[in-house]
Amino acid sequence: MLKSKTFLKKTRSGRVLKVVREHYLRDDIWCGSELCVECRQESPPPPVLQRDACRESSLCASRHYIIPDTNVVLHQIDILEDPLINNVIILQTVLQEVRHRSAPIYKRIKDVIHNASKHFYTFTNEHHRETFIEREQGESANDRNDRAIRTAARWYSEHLKKAPDGEELQVILLTDDKGNREKAEGCGVIAYKCEEYIKSLIGSPELMDRLALCTDDANEITSSKILFPEHLPLSRIQAGIKSGTFLQGVFRASRDNYLEATVFVQGDGDDGTEILIQGLQNLNRAVHQDLVAVELLPRNLWVTPSSVVLVDEGPKGDEDGDGDEEEQKMLKCDASESMLKPTGKIVGIIKRNWRPFCGMLSRSEIKEATRHLFTPADRRIPRIRIETRQASALMGQRIMVAIDGWPKSSRYPNGHFVRSLGSAGDKETETEVLLLEHDVPHQPFSQAVLSFLPKMPWAIAEEDMRNRVDLRKLCVCSVDPPGCTDIDDALHCRDLGNGNLEVGVHIADVSHFIRPGNTLDQEAASRGTTVYLCEKRIDMVPELLSSNLCSLRCNVDRLAFSCIWEMNHNAEIISTRFTKSVINSKASLTYAEAQLRIDDTNMNDDVTRSLRGLNALAKILKKRRIDKGALTLSSPEVRFHMDSETHDPIDLQAKELKETNSLVEEFMLLANISVAQKIYDEFSECALLRKHPAPPPSNYDILSKAAKAKGLVIRTDSAKALADSLDMAQVEGFSYFNTLLRILGTRCMMQAVYFCSGMDSDFHHYGLASPIYTHFTSPIRRYADIIVHRLLAVAIGADCTYSDLMDKHKQAALCNNLNYRHKMAQYAQRASVAFHTQLFFKSRGIQNEDGYILFVRKNAIIVLIPKFGLEGTVFFENKEKRGPRLLFDEEVPSLTVEGHTFNMFDRVKVTISLDASNIQHQKIRMALLEPVYRREHVPKRTTGGCAEVTREVKCINSS
């Protein structure tokens, strides 16, 4: 049966097109039930819906199937994912609506449908002759869809009654829409509210905790006092944005001050504006990463970013918000006109970016209470009020909670329990938390992905040698960190006999194994990057590739992509060639082992001579880069030494860089630049490149102030000027001063990003002082490099192209995902370092260490401990006790405490210990030992810690 609809459409050029849409209806679509014999096809697939759909319910004693409407799927996905809920019919109408309204929920419901043990069946009601309905005149799309759901539910109920034993089986429609329920019951369909049905399930009280609150429920558990302004409707927001009254941007909450946030308003290209938001009323229930509408305040109400550190420590008695007034007063400070920032208030939410959050339950002090506060692990997320009957069992557990809504009468948003992750402090649990919190895909690779791996045993075949050069006789070696198994790159250097040198960078040919568009390729593109935690690696590609077939291990033949230069002894490039190749590495060395070979005059084998040649050229290349304005900044990293049995950290040291680190880095940079130029010359519209934008001048304010305090001037008008200024910035008798300046310089930088050449005009890499750059040298751990390999292979005729590779819009969308994944990977790695630092100090106890003041705040100093690469905050205020007199000078900046002035880069001595009093936020505590600013305020050692008030420690990682 065919239905068609004809309508006229006007194009941009003014032409009128006649469009005919055909809609095919069938009467042979299977209902999916094991019980049915009427609509089975000749060769039907295995039934999905079970004959014995038993689920004990006080509402429905007989066997039954469930049909949820769209809002139940959108809001109660946590319920639907529970193993107890099965034999569910998902209508095509519902699936289409969910797809349009929420991509994350759509993916989750699709995953549930694909899980055979759940018995979820998708019924294509929009193409079934008896369940398809036309939209009536004057009927809204939403009302038509509700009617389509009721029609399908009624058809199922009547259809299954015709089956043997079908009289005993019922079909239940779950909908929270009262009108929809009444209409369903009017046409003979059994319908219940989702909450009503879940409450009726016998022996499953824990499911109640997973129920998302509907709007009515949310209002019931909050006070009648209005705490926040009403959010404007979307129609007014859109009109205000169009007229310029409101601005649209991404809400970014502060980690250090729960009463402050910024809204980033995107401008043209990479430009954008940050609008400051201060105070609960102005924050107006926005949550980190929400897309919001903001209204600028009059200029006389603009403020400066607060230098105070404030942590939301929960309700102070009642929930009327009065307890925050004292802390809101602390935000106010006098500032010059030049220090003021554009300031605004949130007037509406355009799009929520809520996700399930990890954290811990803060149990109510009221006996037998069911309403409790959940404290998220991420300090940028507000506490969430949930209702649960298993609070006792959840204490001390890491759990996941989802937000349902945030009424204007509630200090905190309302939410529901999702699932428990395990005991707080357990290494496996904490690793799971940091991966979830940073959205790192870490599920095992599916069988669909693994099916595209080569069959073992694998060997290089004759067809693999097509368009490939045999370089197995070359003396190639790799240099990597200790324990590295995913070896991306190898190098060689040899005399050519004409007075010049041949230098080669050989990169694992991952694109040979991962072909465009298959499931393996899609998974690698989604993951974007390998994530390296302190004792765990989350691979971008399956281990068979990452640690075996692609890894350039020594003494085995491996497929590679080679970039080979002819150079003179002054590291000037005479010619460059790119080729697919086969190599056989002669040595897999660590940086230390390679350095020993270079330094040991008794060693003179081929590998050692190659390394010495590479090292000599690398020094010249590095000097040339720096002379052109490349920046040499600093960011101390730490290395843990793990116990071989417990895998707990037993030592913590700042990483030591050797010449061989620089040797590898220089040739990787050179290869990336050479490849970038080649792919851009060939594909000017769709080359995947990487750029590092120049920071805005305001980013350098803190660096300039720090240098000025020591009588120095830092020029920031260009990268070259900055590099030269940093080289000359020395203070007599203070050797670590220059390193501190470079660490501060790193904080001023912008994030490097991937982009498509056809979508941007600014290619410059500020930090490297290079006009063009890309990533080619790490395809085992970065998907961007795989795309670059494919582009280069097409450019040299070693492989064929495909449509997505030449589509600049798809390349740009891919770059957005890769930039997001790389950023999240960095954050996850830093969180892993922070957790293992806590484990280290847990076993070490109290430590006294020298450090330097890196930043000065209104009520605290931030101290860097070079020995451990740690950064922590020491407070000078305590809420329980009267603190010392503080005088903050933002211009210098400096903080005077009881007559003693603390400046940036001052040397101090601090006590370091682990504070485990708050299981949710265990932290490294720092307290000042020297200088003593006032005798009675010197922190005393105690069994539980060593300071009166201290702050969470962060670890500095290079980005």
Dump the DSSP string for 331-368.
Answer: T-----GGG-B-BEEEEEEEE-----EEEEEE--SSTT
What is residue 18's predicted lDDT score, i.e. its pLDDT? 76
What is residue 113's predicted lDDT score, i.e. its pLDDT? 93
Q: For the structural domain made of 845-930, what CATH number should be given? A: 2.40.50.140
Percentages helix, strand, coil for the chain (3-state, rounded to 5) are: 30, 25, 40
Given this structure, which CATH class describes domain 355-425?
mainly beta
Task: Give yes or no for a contact between 440 and 426, defined as CB atoms under 8 angstroms apart.
Answer: no
- Return the H-helix or E-strand segment holding 641: strand 638-642
pLDDT digits (tens, 9 = 90+) for 906-955: 999 999 888 877 666 777 888 888 887 654 443 433 333 333 233 333 33
Residue/partner pairs of 553-556 with CB below 8 Å, 24 or more apart: 553/487, 553/585, 553/588, 554/477, 554/478, 554/585, 554/586, 554/587, 554/588, 555/584, 555/585, 555/586, 556/584, 556/585
Distance CA(567)–CA(563), nearest Å, equals 13
C-alpha dist (Å) from residue 573 to 476, 495, 527, 610, 621: 20, 14, 36, 18, 11
What is residue 335's predicted lDDT score, i.e. its pLDDT? 61
The pTM score is 0.83
CATH topology of domain 234-351: OB fold (Dihydrolipoamide Acetyltransferase, E2P) (2.40.50)
pLDDT along the chain (959 residues), means of 10: 67 77 83 82 76 83 92 93 92 94 90 91 92 90 94 93 82 93 92 92 82 59 73 93 93 89 80 87 94 93 79 57 60 68 93 90 82 90 90 90 91 92 90 93 92 94 91 95 91 94 96 95 96 91 96 95 96 96 95 93 93 96 92 72 63 73 94 97 96 90 88 89 89 88 89 94 92 96 97 95 93 95 93 86 84 88 86 75 77 86 91 78 83 53 32 32
| Residue that is written with structure tokens 């790159």 in the block | 489
Query: Within 658-748, where are the H helices?
Result: 659-682, 701-708, 719-728, 737-748
Residue type, 13: S
Contacts of 344 (CB under 8 A, 6+ apart): 247, 263, 275, 276, 277, 282, 294, 295, 296, 297
Given this structure, which CATH class describes domain 48-211?
alpha beta
Task: Give yes or no for a contact between 725 and 714, defined as CB atoms under 8 angstroms apart.
Answer: yes
269-289 per-residue burial string, b: 16 or more CB within 10 A, e: under 16: eeeeeebbbbbbebbbbbbbb
Query: How do beta strands 477-480 and 397-405 pair?
Result: unpaired
- Return the H-helix or E-strand segment holding 4: strand 2-10
Task: Give yes or no for a contact between 690 and 750, defined as CB atoms under 8 angstroms apart.
Answer: no
Distance CA(239)–CA(246), nearest Å, equals 9
What is residue 217's predicted lDDT score, i.e. its pLDDT? 43
Contacts of 573 (CB under 8 A, 6+ apart): 565, 566, 567
Distance CA(869)–CA(840), nearest Å, equals 13
Q: Check if 234-351 and 355-425 are the same fold.
A: yes
| Residue that is written with structure tokens 């929420």 in the block | 102
What is residue 643's predicted lDDT score, i.e. its pLDDT? 61
| 3-state SS, residue 247 | strand
Distance CA(402)–CA(384), nearest Å, equals 9
| Residue that is written with structure tokens 């204007």 in the block | 408
Domain boundaries, the chain: 48-211, 234-351, 355-425, 447-672, 695-749, 845-930
What is residue 336's predicted lDDT score, i.e. its pLDDT? 64
Distance CA(436)–CA(688), nearest Å, equals 29
Residue type, 280: L
Distance CA(12)–CA(17), nearest Å, equals 11
Distance CA(323)–CA(411), nearest Å, equals 11
Q: What is the CA radius of gyration of the chain?
A: 32
What is residue 885's predicted lDDT score, i.e. its pLDDT? 82
Distance CA(184)–CA(239), nearest Å, equals 38
Question: Which residue in 871, 489, 471, 428 sits closest to 675, CA to CA?
Answer: 489
Question: Which residue in 752, 754, 756 sits closest to 768, CA to CA?
Answer: 752
Distance CA(701)–CA(906), nearest Å, equals 19
Distance CA(831)–CA(842), nearest Å, equals 17
Provide the token pair at 567: 């150079």
